[in-house]
Amino acid sequence: MASIRHYRTLTRWRPLVPVSPKKRSDYHELSFLEHGEPTRVMEYHQQETPPVHKDNDGFVKVEMLAAPWNPADKNVVQGKYPSPVKNPMPQPPSGRGDSWKVAGSEGWGRVVDMRPGGGLHITPGSFVTLGQSGMGTFRSSLWLPSSALIPVDRGEELKTRAGHAAAACLFQLGGTAWRMIKDFESLDEATGVIVQNAGNSGVGWMLSQLAATLNIRVISLVRRGSKSPGEFERMANALTQQYTNTTRVVAEEDLLEDKEAIKALEAELGTCAPRLAINAVGGPSASLLLKLLAPGGTMVTYGGLSMQPVTVGTPLLIFKDVKVRGYWHSRWMTRTFPKQKKQMVDELVNAVLDGGVQLPPFQVFPLSGVQEALKFETEQSAEAVRRKIVFDCQRQGD
């Protein structure tokens, strides 16, 4: 890593409900029978024994320790999320029968049992993360083929230094950010600049920090929205306080409403115009990124938060020759060999343990607290940086 910084703890963001280390013998899950709004269709279910699994060679039993609630999980429950392959790996059974699906795609767990034939150096006690989406991670345990898992070699260290909940957030947010930094443009370590919108999102947070480990500067556009000047300043401070001179936070509205502000930013960048733009929003925000992009540069779209299309003006294509691409982490995970996926997981863990990268703020809830968790998520708009919801998959329901 080009930049080595000491690991710091953000005590302000300590979870209100600690992840419980208590071992349980029964089973619980968060599942849904039909698609719809998560608060309406997702149900907490407990039973004495885990659902029966096929006793196949190469299968391992994972005790799920923590699993984050990502925007994609919401879309899956709503029935709006496509599968990256025609015939996806079937989800392990729900305790409530075949018609039910368990929610949750990402997760952090530990192998507690296994049949012969597992690959990739997975052994009982190994910490693992998911290598396949759609397996239903919001539950206390599940059996999976070892090919659906990625072992985390420094898992014990990650657990001790960051905790289960933070570890659970690392791989999708960090993986999406890492691939977009690495796979589209080769950025010079000294002069490389990335411009992104939704800089206060989970992916945006990870992208700025991972880029910093490579000495790449990031300009983060963040919408001011209904934030007061004080709230905006707190947010900008939260995003830059540890990475001054690396991440610069700019209110998107200031650039959209004032051509002079764009010129000033361009002048500040000088010959280091961004070769990579990262778009999670679409609409005018994406057009702004394209304007700031260097000739021949690439804009990668990974989200459409504004629900507005990305439009590219003809002159940008002809005179600036910009490239417009998309990134979908589930597709990368499906198409990539296990060895490469493990390499990425190792790189992300090293970035946290050796490179000082911190996970976004989060708030932990038990699976039984799903309604409170979803309510908390919608009510936290005044927060400087929104907290990720993480489920403690071991904590018992009442």
Ligand X SMILES: NC(=O)c1ccc[n+]([C@@H]2O[C@H](COP(=O)([O-])OP(=O)(O)OC[C@H]3O[C@@H](n4cnc5c(N)ncnc54)[C@H](OP(=O)(O)O)[C@@H]3O)[C@@H](O)[C@H]2O)c1
Catalytically active residues are: 81
CA distances from 157 to 16, 108, 153, 160, 396 (A): 23, 14, 9, 5, 26
Rounded Cα distance, 71 and 104, in Å: 10
Smallest gap from residue 170 Cβ to ligand X (A)? 13
Residue nearer to ligand X on the CB measure, 58 or 304: 304
Residue 287 binds ligand X (CB under 6 A): no
Quick check: helix, strand or coil at residue 62? strand
Smallest distance, ligand X to C-beta of residue 71, A: 3
Residue showing tokens 């071992």: 23
User: Which tokens belong to 336?
Assistant: 């990539």
45 binds ligand X (CB under 6 A): no
- Tell me the two tokens of residue 129: 């993360």
200, 247, 358, 394: which one binds ligand X (CB under 6 A): 200
Site string for ligand X, 311-340 (x = CB under 6 A): ----------------xxx-----------
156 or 183: CB nearest ligand X? 183
State the Cα–Cα distance between residues 386 and 175, nearest whole angstrom. Answer: 19
Please give the angle made by the CA atoms of 365, 173 and 58, to the nearest 5 degrees.
Answer: 80
Please select the residue that binds ligand X; options are 306, 336, 350, 396, rule is CB under 6 A: 306
Task: Count CA within 13 A, CB hemisphere, residue 32.
Answer: 21
The one among 110, 223, 248, 341 contacting ligand X by CB under 6 A: 223
Q: Residue 79 or residue 296: which is nearer to ligand X going by CB? A: 79
Residue 27 or 232: the one with the smaller Cβ distance to ligand X is 232
**Binding residue (CB under 6 A) for ligand X from 18, 36, 225, 397:** 225
Q: Between residues 212 and 281, which has the closer beta carbon with respect to ligand X?
A: 281
Residues 52-81 that bind ligand X (CB under 6 A): 70-72
One DSSP character per residue, 67-125 reads EEE-HHHHHHHHT----SSSSPPPPPPPTT-TT-EE-----EEEEEEE-TT--TT--TT
CA distances from 306 to 91, 278, 378 (A): 31, 15, 16
What string marks each residue from 238 to 277 as x (binds ligand X by CB under 6 A) or -?
Answer: ----------------------------------------
CB burial readout 157-173, b (16+ within 10 A) else e: ebbeebbbbbbbbbbbb
d(CA 51, CA 67): 19
348-387 residues near ligand X, rule: CB under 6 A: 386
**Given the complex with ligand X, which of 61 and 179 has the nearer CB atom?**
179
Window of 45-53, 161-169, 200-208, 317-325 that interacts with ligand X by CB under 6 A? 200-208
Contact footprint for ligand X (CB under 6 A): 70-72, 172-173, 176, 198, 200-203, 223, 225, 280-281, 285, 302-303, 305-306, 327-329, 386
